[in-house]
Amino acid sequence: MQHIVEPWVREVLGPRTRIAAITPLTGGLSQAMYRLDLTGADAPAVVLRRWPEDGPWPRECARREAAALELLAGGGIGAPGLIAADPEGERTGRPSTLMTCLPGRGVLDPEDVPGWLEALAARLAAIHDLPPGPDLEPCPRHADMADPRRRAWMAGLPEGAAALDLAVSADDPRRPVLAHGDYQHFNVLWTGSALTGVVDWTGCGVADAGRDVGHCMLNLTVLHDAARAWSFLGRYQALTGTRVDPAWLMGELLDFSPAWEEFIPIQVGGRAPVDPAGMRARVEELIVQVLRAAG
């Protein structure tokens, strides 16, 4: 891959730049992430996101991330800085983005769970407090509720029909915000006990606040339990002084499917214990609880 991307990197960062090493980063699913260690450049390392194939969706994701990183520059959120984007794959053969390399590491199984959840909620509240900008498009939905296969799976859920009715009732955002689009513990970085970075902005757009909150709750439940999801929600609502729309929460919870039991262990990559067999039961518990809370 070096011979493909190095000419682009040199074009962007200067003719003396060389790639000394390429290291795959853990956690990427739909695209590959690499740390590029450099010589002859001002920065010792940068991060390359490169999609494995071309097409409308990868191009759209690359454009979204580039627009988001430009919008977030200087916003104090801890997003990477955009160096260059190649959404059409003209320079690298595949849609790609090049960005600054943030300090920190992923923490999925912390010792201080309350502090970890508080920091997750506080950073999301700060993101939602930023102006979205006039050109930001709506976030793409994670799940197509009209998909017959998804409806067949949801039919087996406890109170599946009521859960689906609640999810599809989420129409225009009740509280539209600048949304990350994939906010969860896999996409934040920590330095010590401080949350110092938020990555993977390929789904960024305008959405109801419940879009991000519900997605994070789902991921917390899948990897841990529903109690952590509720604690995160409570902290977010206390910080923002708002009540998150249960319909938008449910729309995110119903993004779960049996496929999560397969890809979550890959995404975790040995960084935390994973219980694939218990995922569905934990998510079903949360779905019923959100239905009860919705009234």
Domain boundaries 113-294, CATH class: alpha beta
Token readout for 224 is: 């841990």
Mean pLDDT of 205-231: 98
Q: What is the pLDDT of residue 33?
A: 93
In the chain, where are the structural domains located?
2-100, 113-294
Mean pLDDT of 200-219: 97
Q: What is the pLDDT of residue 27?
A: 67
Query: Are the C-beta atoms of residues 242 and 279 closer than 8 Å to each other?
Result: no
User: Could you tell me whether strands 45-50 and 82-86 are parallel, antiparallel, or unpaired per DSSP bridges?
Assistant: unpaired
Gyration radius from the chain CA atoms: 19
pLDDT exceeds 90 at position 216: yes
Q: Predicted confidence band at 10 (pLDDT cuts at 50, 70, 90)?
A: very high
Predicted TM-score (pTM) of this structure: 0.95
2-100 CATH fold? Phosphorylase Kinase; domain 1 (3.30.200)
Q: Predicted confidence band at 257 (pLDDT cuts at 50, 70, 90)?
A: confident
Mean pLDDT of 128-153: 82
pLDDT exceeds 70 at position 29: no
Mean pLDDT of 53-63: 94
pLDDT exceeds 80 at position 131: yes
Question: CA-CA distance, 54 to 218, in Å (whole number)?
Answer: 29
Work out the mean pLDDT of the chain and round it to a whole number: 93
